[in-house]
């Protein structure tokens, strides 16, 4: 049966080392059993769907367990990404630091008070030749993204059904077959030389959902619907699912994306995370669905294409910056 389970607790040492400014609680986070969402057992599936709806509406994030991602694929992507961030080969990665609209691979390095990470972003879908330039990563990236997209499509169908629609509702609303997905591989802190507490500052992410896996527990904090920060301790081989800005827009605020941040606190332990932002197709016009708008719930967001929303802050598509505050009407 799907249930809410306690988060993993941090060590006493971790608590002692964490700046008081960034302390967060260890509240329980919903855990969804993906296998039950796909099961034929009517009663168990109904319970899992109900919990999924609760997690989406009351939290906006949850752990996904018993999913279809093979263990070796998940392990390999974390291992290969860690190897890729070898400090002795940083000059080889710098060729991807240019930021122009045609970029399909983007590398960056920040070590200051506001951000401490090294990252590499690639277009994960539609299938692109960009990752073929990353010889050590291309095959495992392809395998990982193929498996993750299957999971995300399954979630979209379950969410659609839970909302009371045909299972293809979200897929069609976002044209997910041509969805624009960006994969961000992060090293926190960059080569263990952070210059502040912040790995990545407060933000939300655009798109349908955000999937995250990591090799070392801790670091990520999410601002709950109650206005309190929650530590995220992902169970072994689970996937953290966070709702994206454009699911919030489509549902007119019924489902909300949530602010989150990464804290490194001059951490001497490196952390690798692989984050994928699963978005609508670039040319899809996203506006609140008519099913979510009535006299009591007027339009809360303006409509624009996904491409327009990604460029609203002056960046390019692969930068995948949130523009939710510019889209909100209230």
Which tokens go with 289?
């669905």
pLDDT tens-place values along the chain, 330 residues long: 333 333 333 343 443 444 557 888 888 999 999 999 998 878 999 999 999 999 999 999 999 999 999 999 999 999 999 999 999 999 989 988 877 656 788 999 998 888 999 999 999 999 765 566 687 788 899 999 999 999 999 999 999 999 999 999 999 999 999 999 999 999 999 887 788 889 999 999 999 999 999 998 889 999 998 889 999 999 999 999 999 999 999 999 999 999 999 998 766 678 999 999 999 999 999 999 999 999 999 999 999 999 999 998 877 888 888 999 889 887
Cα separation values, 279 from 37, 134, 173, 294, 315, Å: 22, 23, 11, 26, 16
Q: Return the domain boundaries, the chain.
A: 3-327
What CATH homologous superfamily does 3-327 map to? B-lactam Antibiotic, Isopenicillin N Synthase; Chain (2.60.120.330)
pTM of the predicted protein model? 0.91
Give, as one character, the DSSP assignment of residue 198.
Answer: E
**12 phi-psi bin (left φ>0, alpha ψ -120 to 50, beta other):** alpha
SS (H, E, C) the chain: CCEEECCCCCCHHHHHHCCHHHCCECCCEEEEEHHHHCCCCHHHHHHHHHHHHHHHHHHCEEEEECCCCCHHHHHHHHHHHHHHCCHHHHHHHHHHCCCCCCCCEEEEEEECCCCEEEEEEEEEECCCCHHHHCCCCHHHHHHHHHHHHHHHHHHHHHHHHHCCCCCCHHHHHHCHHHCCEEEEEEEECHHHCCCCCEEEEEECCCCCEEEEEECCCCCEEEECCCCCEEECCCCCCCEEEEECHHHHHHCCCCCCCCCEEEECCCCCCCEEEEEEEECCCCCCEECCCHHHCCCCCCCCECCEEHHHHHCCCCCCHHHCCCCHHHHECC
């Amino acid at each position: 049966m799907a249930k809410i389970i306690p988060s993993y607790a941090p060590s006493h040492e971790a608590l002692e080392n964490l700046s008081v400014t960034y302390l967060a609680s260890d509240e329980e986070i919903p855990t969804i059993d993906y296998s039950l969402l796909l099961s034929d057992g009517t009663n168990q599936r109904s319970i899992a769907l109900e919990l999924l709806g609760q997690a989406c509406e009351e939290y906006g994030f949850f752990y996904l367990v018993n999913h279809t991602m093979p263990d070796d694929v998940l392990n390999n992507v974390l291992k290969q990404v860690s190897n890729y961030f070898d400090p002795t080969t940083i000059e080889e990665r710098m060729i991807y630091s240019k930021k122009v609209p045609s970029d399909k691979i983007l590398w960056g390095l920040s070590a200051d008070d506001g951000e401490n990470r090294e990252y590499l972003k690639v277009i994960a879908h539609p299938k692109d030749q960009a990752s073929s330039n990353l010889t050590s990563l291309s095959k495992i990236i392809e395998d990982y993204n193929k498996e993750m997209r299957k999971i995300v499509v399954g979630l979209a169908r379950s969410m659609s059904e839970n909302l009371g629609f045909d299972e293809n509702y979200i897929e069609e609303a976002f044209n997910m077959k041509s969805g624009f997905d960006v994969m961000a591989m992060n090293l926190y802190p960059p080569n263990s030389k952070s210059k502040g507490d912040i790995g990545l500052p407060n933000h939300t992410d655009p798109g349908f959902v955000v999937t995250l896996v990591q090799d070392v527990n801790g670091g990520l904090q999410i601002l709950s619907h109650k206005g309190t920060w929650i530590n995220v301790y992902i169970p072994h081989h689970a996937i953290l699912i966070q709702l994206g800005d454009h699911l919030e827009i489509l549902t007119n605020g019924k489902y909300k994306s949530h602010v989150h941040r990464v804290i490194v606190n001059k951490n001497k332990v490196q952390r690798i995370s692989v984050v994928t932002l699963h978005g609508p197709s670039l040319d899809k016009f996203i506006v609140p669905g008519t099913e979510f708008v009535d006299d009591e719930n007027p339009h809360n967001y303006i409509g624009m294409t996904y491409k327009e929303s990604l460029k609203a802050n002056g960046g390019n598509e692969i930068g995948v910056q949130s523009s939710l505050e510019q889209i909100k009407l209230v």
